[in-house]
């Protein structure tokens, strides 16, 4: 009987063929927690009698959600993480090194075919790498760090097949926003997603990460991009589904005519063509996050902003996904272009997206953001409104002072 990608990866880890619906205890290749989840993880690890993490080379902490620390309370939680990591001999990625998902990929904590457990809901991002990656909470993560294992129900899989190629000026973010709108925020709960078809085959690793990242906005346990076309700078054995694999549901879309997409407040699946929102006045434009803070995202914004100034009533914040992304964007001139256009650069991290610090909107303000969530209060103020779009849309809107189709700046 044929298997999906998830069934194959889990089978490889439990040493027998398993299929959707089975409960398994699987070994885990690597695990991580951020500064939102690590303090509770450390507490649970100690409370459950944990002595040593299962493999200090495959466990990591990342300080990204409130980096650098905005107050003494959080400073003390960061210290607790540093102390624990040192004691365990595991790596702690410091403030500014980057957003957890970006640094896990850059530092090869995750590779194709792996099972990765992360105490962050956007852990499915690694599905871009053909890995089975799940988000969990702190206590689950503590248990995984102690035992090297997790219990899982082998998920059923939804197949999303996209034919056609995206038009110029339409990006992976537009594609995944469109898909979230179709599948809805609870459309894949408890299930895995496989993204396959021509539209994904030509995508870069960065774009594939944007796609897999928003699997969690459909409620999915994991979201894996078909490995066809995946290019990495090391050799790997791709894991593709069998032709006779069983899917609970299949979506087919021809995306060759797709327009730029916008998700309106206050749910990521409230997605429409950008034409519905063009002209909506904005106060604040944000590019960053685990969804869209990579080099290609900053490059496309720089291309639109080159030699221009953002609208005088708009402030723009850029948070590169990692230090490596920042260095690359400095080396290729992108960072100069963005700052000359009037953008403000902040430390690599999650701050504005998760409402911790570094850019909380005021009452009544409107934000256009390249992030993945626009729940009420998400950016720290329940009286503001967040629209989600591609980095290109954010840059074009920052220029015009209102939501703008970026295509006019991209031809």
- Rule CB under 8 A: which residues touch another protein? 23-25, 35-37, 39-40, 43-44, 47-49, 65-66, 73-74, 77, 119-121, 123, 135-140, 142-143, 146-147, 149-151, 153, 185-186, 189-190, 219, 221, 267, 354-356, 373, 375-378, 380, 382
Nearer to another protein, 203 or 354 (CB): 354
Nearer to another protein, 130 or 358 (CB): 358
Nearer to another protein, 308 or 376 (CB): 376
Looking at the DSSP bridge assignments, the partners of residue 216 are none
Dihedral pair phi/psi, residue 350, rounded to 5°: -100, -10
**Spatial distance between the Cα atoms of 82 and 78, rounded to a whole number of angstroms:** 6
What is the nearest approach in angstroms of another protein to the Cβ of residue 170? 27
What is the nearest approach in angstroms of another protein to the Cβ of residue 45? 9
Nearer to another protein, 74 or 170 (CB): 74
What is the nearest approach in angstroms of another protein to the Cβ of residue 214? 12
**Spatial distance between the Cα atoms of 78 and 206, rounded to a whole number of angstroms:** 29
Half-sphere exposure of 4 (CA within 13 A, CB side): 30
Nearer to another protein, 40 or 205 (CB): 40
What is the nearest approach in angstroms of another protein to the Cβ of residue 27? 11
What is the nearest approach in angstroms of another protein to the Cβ of residue 255? 25
Nearer to another protein, 80 or 345 (CB): 80
Looking at the DSSP bridge assignments, the partners of residue 33 are 61, 119
Helix (H, G, I), strand (E, B) or coil at 64: coil
Q: Using an 8 Å Cβ cutoff, are 2 and 246 in contact?
A: yes
**Spatial distance between the Cα atoms of 31 and 141, rounded to a whole number of angstroms:** 7
Contact residues for 349 (Cβ-Cβ < 8 A; gap 6+): 63, 64, 65, 66, 67, 95, 96, 98, 99, 319, 358
What is the nearest approach in angstroms of another protein to the Cβ of residue 179? 17
What is the nearest approach in angstroms of another protein to the Cβ of residue 348? 18
End-to-end Cα separation, the chain, in angstroms: 48
Q: Using an 8 Å Cβ cutoff, are 283 and 361 in contact?
A: yes
Give burial (CB, 10 Å; 0-12/13-18/19+) of 273.
middle
Can you count the helices (H) and strands (E) in the chain?
15, 18
Cis peptide leading into residue 68 (ω within 30°):
yes
For 288-301, b/e burial (b = at least 16 CB within 10 A) is bbbbbbbbbbbbbb
Nearer to another protein, 150 or 367 (CB): 150
Please name which of 180, 187, 189 lies closest in space to residue 155, comparing C-alpha atoms: 189
Nearer to another protein, 25 or 327 (CB): 25
Q: Using an 8 Å Cβ cutoff, are 196 and 161 in contact?
A: yes
Nearer to another protein, 151 or 236 (CB): 151
What is the nearest approach in angstroms of another protein to the Cβ of residue 312? 29
Q: Using an 8 Å Cβ cutoff, are 208 and 226 in contact?
A: no
What is the nearest approach in angstroms of another protein to the Cβ of residue 187? 10
What is the nearest approach in angstroms of another protein to the Cβ of residue 378? 5
Nearer to another protein, 66 or 321 (CB): 66
């Amino acid at each position: 009987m044929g298997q999906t990608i998830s069934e194959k990866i889990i089978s490889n880890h439990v040493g027998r063929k398993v299929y959707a619906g089975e409960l398994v205890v699987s070994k885990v290749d690597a695990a991580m927690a951020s500064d939102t989840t690590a303090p509770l993880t450390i507490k649970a690890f100690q409370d459950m009698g944990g002595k040593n993490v299962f493999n200090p080379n495959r466990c990591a902490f990342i300080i990204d959600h409130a980096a650098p620390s905005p107050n003494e309370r959080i400073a003390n939680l960061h210290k607790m993480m540093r102390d624990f990591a040192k004691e365990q001999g595991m790596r702690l990625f410091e403030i500014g090194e980057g957003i957890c998902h970006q640094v896990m990929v850059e530092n090869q904590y995750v590779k194709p075919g792996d099972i990765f457990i992360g105490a962050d809901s956007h852990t499915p991002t690694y599905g871009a790498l053909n890995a089975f990656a799940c988000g969990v909470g702190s206590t689950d993560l503590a248990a995984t760090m102690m035992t090297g294992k997790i219990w899982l129900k082998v998920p059923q899989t939804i197949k999303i097949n996209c034919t056609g190629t995206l038009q110029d000026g339409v990006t992976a973010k537009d594609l995944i926003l469109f898909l979230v709108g179709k599948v809805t925020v609870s459309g894949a709960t408890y299930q895995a997603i496989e993204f396959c078809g021509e539209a994904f085959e030509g995508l870069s690793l960065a774009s594939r990460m944007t796609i897999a990242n928003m699997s969690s906005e459909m409620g999915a346990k994991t979201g894996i991009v078909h490995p066809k076309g995946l290019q990495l700078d090391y050799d790997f054995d791709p894991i593709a589904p069998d032709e006779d694999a069983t899917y609970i549901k299949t979506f087919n879309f021809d995306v060759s005519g797709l327009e730029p997409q916008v998700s309106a407040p206050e749910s990521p699946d409230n997605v429409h063509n950008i034409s519905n929102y063009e002209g909506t006045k904005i106060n604040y434009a944000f590019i960053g996050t685990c969804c869209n803070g990579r080099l290609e995202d900053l490059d496309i914004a720089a291309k639109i902003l080159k030699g221009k100034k953002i609208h005088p009533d708009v402030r723009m914040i850029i948070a590169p996904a990692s230090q490596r992304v920042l260095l690359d964007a400095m080396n290729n001139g992108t960072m100069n272009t963005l700052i000359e256009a009037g953008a403000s650069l902040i430390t690599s991290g999650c701050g504005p997206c998760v409402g911790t610090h570094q850019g909380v909107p005021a009452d009544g303000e409107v934000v256009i953001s390249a992030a993945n969530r626009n729940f009420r209060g998400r950016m720290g103020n329940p009286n503001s409104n967040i629209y989600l779009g591609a980095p290109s849309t954010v840059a074009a809107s920052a220029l015009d002072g209102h939501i703008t189709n970026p295509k006019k700046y991209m031809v």
